[in-house]
Amino acid sequence: MSATTPAPGRRVGGKALRYVLLSLGAVVFLFPFYYMVVGSLRKVTAGDLSAAVPSGLTGANYAAINSTISLGRSLLNSGIMTIGVLICTLVFGVLAGYALAVLKFRGKGAVFGALLLVQMVPFQLLTLPLYVLVVRDYGLGDNYFGMILPFAINSTAVFLFRQFFSQMPQSLFEAARIDGASELRILWKIALPMAKPAILTALLLTFIGPWNEFLWPFLVTKNADMQPLAVSLASFLSNLQGTVANPAGALLAGACVLALPAVVLFLVFQRHFTSTDIDSATKG
């Protein structure tokens, strides 16, 4: 077998195999999404094979799910929770990342160690004591602040900011300091404008967490008017299906609405979900 120069036939064969493999994968990954969209638009959504073919399309399922769980209100709740998390992560995360990368202070090593550690602690394991504290002790059940609190500052984003700021030329900051600029001003005028790509990546990485989260808002919100879409959709899935004519269609319509924002953001900003970012975000 001559290995240094593979026969042309073998190379073409390898390429074909590559495409077959990847295409097969793509079908497995995309088919459920296709099925979700088609199923949400059909008048009768049954599980038989015809359900994969679009026919007799209608928007009735979207109206049905909207009348059962009030889509607008749920979306608003999801939006408030997500935007609250994004704002906190951006404001406090940038400050912490800048301090960890550029400034000296006592306990810096300990804070950075804690940052790496919490990325390994499964949040769900702490859900119960958090529930007791937030809902029972602080009385923050059915409250946006209670919904946001456990996710308020995304440690992965802090890590990303820290990495980014520590790669900037430190002489730039030093020069500004000699000119008498305050640290906040240096951060705002020099560091932040250069950090735009990191900010965008951090926002995108942070977004999918609270938007898709189920367990925490499920515990914290009992009032249907306060529930984000993932929670209201889950309650439809487990006990409201009998209330509409085409329950499977309505459920899939709700699933489409829940999936859409994250999918669109991902597709628009795809190049920001790059492997290096993920790599750096998970190396901790």
Partner 1 sequence: MSLTLQSRPAAPSSTEQSPARRNRFRSRVGALFVSPYVLFLLVVFAIPLVYTVWMSFHRFYFTAPGTDVDAPWVGLSNYKDVFTDPVVGQAFLNILIFLVINVPLTVGLSLVLAAALNAKMRGRAFFRAAFYLPYVTASVALVAVWQFLFGQDGFVNHLLGSHAPDPSWLVNTHLAMPMIAVFVTWKQLGFFVMLYLAALQNVGKELYEASAMDGAGKVRQFFSVTVPGVRPATTLVVIYAIITGANMFSEPYLLTGGGGPDHASTSPVLLMYQKGIEQGHPDVAAALGVVLIAFVMVVSLAARKLTERGN
- Region 11-70 residues binding partner 1, contact defined as CB under 8 A: 14-15, 18-19, 21-22, 25-26, 28-30, 32-33, 35-36, 39, 45-49, 51-52
From the list 90, 102, 226, 244, which residue makes contact with partner 1 (rule: CB under 8 A)? 102
Rounded to a whole number of angstroms, the minimum distance from the CB of residue 59 to partner 1 is 18
Which 245-264 positions form the footprint of partner 1 (CB under 8 A)? 248, 251-252, 254-256, 258-259, 262-263
Q: Is 109 left (phi over 0), alpha (psi -120 to 50) or beta?
A: alpha
- Binding test (CB under 8 A) with partner 1, winner from 9, 137, 223, 242: 137
**Interface residue with partner 1, options 7, 57, 87, 132 (CB under 8 A):** 132
Distance of alpha carbon 66 from the chain centroid: 24
The encoded tokens of residue 239 equal 């006990």
Distance (Å, whole) CA 73 – CA 244: 19
Binding to partner 1 in span 109-128, by CB under 8 A: 111-112, 114-115, 118, 120-128
- Residues numbered 141 to 200 that lie near partner 1 (CB under 8 A) are 149-150, 152-153, 158, 160, 162-164, 166-167, 170-171, 173-174, 177, 183-184
Stretch that binds partner 1, among 55-63, 79-87, 188-196, 269-277 (CB under 8 A): 269-277
Subset of residues 214 to 233 that bind partner 1, contact rule: CB under 8 A? 214-215, 219, 230, 233
Q: What is the footprint of partner 1 within residues 71-100 (CB under 8 A)? A: 92-93, 95-96, 98-100
From candidates 211, 221, 226, 227, binder to partner 1 by CB under 8 A: 211
